[in-house]
Structure 1
Amino acid sequence: MSEAPIPGLPRLNEPAPFFKARTTAGERSLTDYKGKWLVLFSHPADFTPVCTTEFMAFARHADAFKALGCELLGLSIDSIFAHIAWMRTIDEKFGVKIPFPIIEDLSMEVAMAYGMIHPGAGDTSAVRATFIIDPNGILRAMVYYPMSNGRSVEEFLRLVEALQTTDANGVATPEAWKKGEPVIVPPPKTAEDADTRAGMGYDYTDWFFSKKSL
C-alpha cells in the first residue's frame, strides 16, 4: 500500500503558510519577518551529527545572510528544552554559538503546513527542507534533502543573492551565478524584437540567449 499524499504542500510564488510558534528566542510568527528575507529550514532531530554540521554552517554564515537583509529560522519537532541543550552542546564541544531561533514544533503544525513530514523518508521527523521567503511573505524557493545528506549553506546564501538580483534588475541568473558575474537578459517576446536583439549591445550568442553585466 502506498503512503498517503503529503497534505498542504506549499507552492512557489504564492504566500508562504502562516505560522506562529514558540522558539528558543520567544514566540515568532511569519509576520515578524515582513520586510525581510527569511530562510526557514527544518532538521530531523536535535543531537544528530549531520544536523549539527548544518547548524554550525548556518551560524558561521549568519552575518553574511544578515548583510543581505535575510533572517534565519530553524525548526524541528523537538522541544524548546532539547533545542537549548543542543545549542549549548554545540557551543561547548565545537565552539560555535547558534545566533538564530529554533522553532519548537511538537505538534508538527508548522512542519505539516510546509510539507516537511515525508513518511517514506524515515519516520515522523521533519526532513531537511529549506524555504526562502521574500519580504512580502511570498515563497520563492524550496529545497528538500534526504535524511542522510547535509545541505550546502553557501548555496542558499548564493540563491538569496541571486533572487535579490533578479528582483532588482528584471534578469535571470545562469547556473552557479555569483555576484559580479554576467546575468541573462530575458528572451525577446516578439519576432521583431528577436530580429533586433543582435544589435542591442548585449553579449549576444543567439536571439534567445544574451548576457549583460550589471
Structure 2
Amino acid sequence: MDNIEPAQTSAFPQLNKPAPNFKAKTTHGEKQLSDYKGKWLVLFSHPADFTPVCTTEFMAFAKHHDEFLAEGADLLGLSIDSYYSHVAWVRNIKEKFGVDVKFPIIEDLSMKVAKAYGMVHPGASDTSAVRATFIIDPEGILRAMVYYPMSNGRSIPEFLRLLRALKTADAHKVATPEGWQPGDKVIVPPPQNADAAEARLGEGYECTDWYFCKKDL
C-alpha cells in the first residue's frame, strides 16, 4: 500500500523544503500527504506498539488532540508495526488507561515512510523508527523536525508551543525567543544594513541594542 516517490527515498528531509510525499495504510484508512493540504500536520514516529514510553507519549498526544485541532493541525502517528497491532494497541490504551486515541497511525512494515523521513537511525536501531516529530505547514513544507532517543519520551506541550510559535512568526513576520508563549513579547528581525541599524533604536521598540529588540503583538 505504501508508495514513496523514488527521488525522495534517498534524501534526508530538510527544513523549509517540501516534506517527503507518502501514501500509506493507517488505522483510519489510506492517507497521503496531500490529504492535509491547507492544514498543519504533526507527523510523529514511535519505536513500537505496546511499549511503555510510547504508550505515555500516545496518551499525551491524545489528551492534547483537541488543542492541536484548534490550531488547525492534524496528528498522524507512525511505527514499523502492522495495522492490526496498531488497532489492538489503541484498544488496549482505551481499556487500560481510559484514553481514546482518535488520530490515525500509519502501518509502515515496509519502512518506506520511516526511511523517507529519516526516522531510522542505525546507531539506535536498524528495525525501529526513533522518536521523530515533524511539523509540516499547510503548503506541505517541512518547518520543524525533532529527534529523541529510544529511551526518553517527548514533551507533547512543547510541540504545541512550537506550532503556535511557527504560526505567530508566519503571521507577523517576527521571531520568538526561548520558551515563548502566546501573549509574550516577540523579537523584531535584526536590521539588514547599517542605515537600518542606525535607525532601529528610534523606531519605538523595546531595544537592548540595535540587533536585539522586542515588541508586543
Whether the TM-score (by the shorter chain) exceeds 0.5 is yes
User: Does the CA contact (< 8 Å) of 1:54 and 1:153 recur in 2?
Assistant: yes
Unaligned runs of 5+ in 2: 1-8
Equivalent-residue separation in structure 1 for 2:196 and 2:117 (angstroms): 41
1:19 maps to which of 18, 22, 30: 22
User: Does the CA contact (< 8 Å) of 1:10 and 1:115 recur in 2?
Assistant: yes
Q: Which amino acid aligns with 2:193?
A: T
TM-score if structure 1 supplies the norm length?
Answer: 0.96
User: Does residue 201 of structure 1 match 2:211?
Assistant: no
> Counterpart of 2:3?
none
Equivalent-residue separation in structure 1 for 2:45 and 2:31 (angstroms): 15
Deviation at 1:7, TM superposition (A): 4.0
User: Does residue 116 of structure 1 match 2:84?
Assistant: no
The aligned length equals 209
Q: Which amino acid aligns with 2:124?
A: A
SS of structure 1 residue aligned to 2:135: strand
Deviation at 1:169, TM superposition (A): 0.3
Q: Which amino acid aligns with 1:180?
A: G
2:183 maps to which of 160, 174, 180: 180
Equivalent-residue separation in structure 1 for 2:123 and 2:11 (angstroms): 17
Q: Deviations over 1:150-190 (max 9, x none)?
A: 00100000000000000000000000000000000000011
Deviation at 1:115, TM superposition (A): 0.5
Equivalent-residue separation in structure 1 for 2:125 and 2:17 (angstroms): 28
Equivalent-residue separation in structure 2 for 1:9 and 1:126 (angstroms): 14
- Structure 1: 4+ residue segments shifted above 4 A: none
> Counterpart of 2:94?
91
State the identity %. 71
Equivalent-residue separation in structure 1 for 2:10 and 2:57 (angstroms): 27
Instruction: Say which is worse superposed, 115-124 or 139-148, in terms of deviation.
Output: 115-124
SS of structure 1 residue aligned to 2:144: strand
User: Does residue 37 of structure 1 match 2:40?
Assistant: yes
Q: Which amino acid aligns with 2:148?
A: Y
Unaligned runs of 5+ in 1: 1-5
> Counterpart of 1:60?
63
User: Does residue 132 of structure 1 match 2:135?
Assistant: yes
Q: Which amino acid aligns with 1:125?
A: S
> Counterpart of 1:46?
49
Alignment RMSD (CA, Å): 0.9
1:157 maps to which of 151, 156, 160: 160
